Amino acid sequence: MSFLDIRNVSFSYNQKRMVLKHIDLGVDKGEWVAILGHNGSGKSTLAKTIVGLLHPQEGAITVGGIVLSDETAYDVRRKVGIVFQNPDNQFVGVTVRDDIAFGMENLSVPRADMLEKIRFYADKVGMSDFLDKEPSALSGGQKQRIAIAGILAMQTEMIIFDEATSMLDPSSRRELMDYIRELHDEGLTIVMITHDIEEALWADRLVVLKDGAVFADDTAENLFKRPDAFREAYLELPAALRIYYEMEAAGDMTPPLAETLWRLGSGR
C-alpha cells in the first residue's frame, strides 16, 4: 500500500452533483505528485478529504497505515499538512511565533520542546528574524513559508500545496518552489495542486483530474505526447510545446527545432 492511498473515493456536497467520482490514487513515500485539473475538477475537494476536512460518502483514505475517520483525523493531520492558496486565510496568531506554535499547541507539545522547535523550523524556512513580527506585515511568500514551518514542526511526513503559489509574484513563486524542492530532497512527500504546468514539471508524476475523476496519471514526458488528452481535460500545454505541435501540424518542423522546443517545454 502507498503512503497515501485513496481507494474509490466519492464525494458530493449536496447529493445532486458528484464532485469526486471513484478516485483511486496512490502516492509513495518521498514522491512528488502534481495534481492538475480545470476549475471545478475536484482538486481542492480531494485535498480537503485527505486531511479530513471533508468526509467522502464512499471509499477509504489511508495515510501512513492509518485509515482516516473522525477518530483518527488528528493522527492523520500529524502525518500530512496542507498549505492553502490564500496565505491570509491560514493565520491565527498575533505573531509569527504564535502561528508556528498553533499546530503544536493542538497536539499538546510541551512548552520547552515547542520553543525549541519554533526556533529550529523558523530557521529552516529562513524566517528566524521574523518571529516577533505580525503575520500581516509579511509578504505572501514569507507567509507561505511560515505556514510550512508550522506544518513541519508537527513532524509531518507529507505536505499538500493547494495552489499555494498562485497568489505570489514570479520571484516569490520561484523562491518558494526552490524551497519545496529542498524539502523534497530531504525526503518530504509532496502533493502539489496547481494550474501552472511549468510548476507541475517539477513533480515525478502528473495526475490529471477531469470532472471529478482521474483522467490521466503519468509522467510529464509521456503526457506531453498526448496533446489531445490535454485539450480534452481543458488544460494547456507549456507555450514551447503548443508551438511545437502547431509547427508540426503545419509541416514546418525541422529536427533541431523539434528537439529545442521539446526540451524547453518539458523542462529537460
Partner 1 sequence: MAIRFRQVSYSYPGYGFGTYEAIRDVTLDIAATGEFIALVGQTGSGKSTLAQHMNALIFPTEGTVEIFGSVVGPKRDKNVKYNELRRKVGLVFQFPEYQLFEETVEKDVMFGPTNFGIPEEEAREMARKALELVGLGSQYLRRNPLNLSGGEKKRVSIAGILAMDPAILVLDEPTSGLDPRGKKTMMDLFRSIRGATGKSIVVITHDMDLVYEYMDRVLVLDRGRLAFDGTPDDLFRRNDLERLHLDHPSTIRVLKAVSEKLGIDLDVYQKDIASAVRELAKAVRP
In terms of Cα–Cα distance, which of 182, 153, 154, 184 is closest to 31? 184
Tell the smallest beta-carbon distance from residue 224 to partner 1 (Å). 15
Q: How far is the CB of 134 from partner 1 (least distance, A)?
A: 8
- Touching partner 1, residues 135-194 (CB under 8 A): 137, 139-141, 163, 166-172
Burial class (CB in 10 A: 0-12, 13-18, 19+), 204: middle
38-67 residues in contact with partner 1 (CB under 8 A) are 38-40
Cell matching residue 149: 514551518
Q: Which stretch binds partner 1 (CB under 8 A): 112-120, 153-161, 201-209, 257-265?
A: 257-265
The span from the CA of 226 to the CA of 233, in Å, is: 11
The answer to whether 252 contacts partner 1 (rule: CB under 8 A) is: yes
Residue 13 lies near partner 1 (rule: CB under 8 A): yes
Shortest Å distance, C-beta 78 to partner 1: 29
Pick the closer one to partner 1 by CB: 71 or 252: 252
18 binds partner 1 (CB under 8 A): no
Site for partner 1, residues 230 to 249, rule: CB under 8 A: 234-236, 238-240, 242-243, 246-247
Residues in region 78-107 near partner 1 by CB under 8 A: 85-86
Calpha distance 181→225 (Å, rounded): 25
Q: Does 199 bind partner 1 (CB under 8 A)?
A: no
Binding site for partner 1 (CB under 8 A): 13-14, 37-40, 85-86, 133, 137, 139-141, 163, 166-172, 195, 197, 234-236, 238-240, 242-243, 246-247, 250, 252-254, 256-257, 260-261, 264
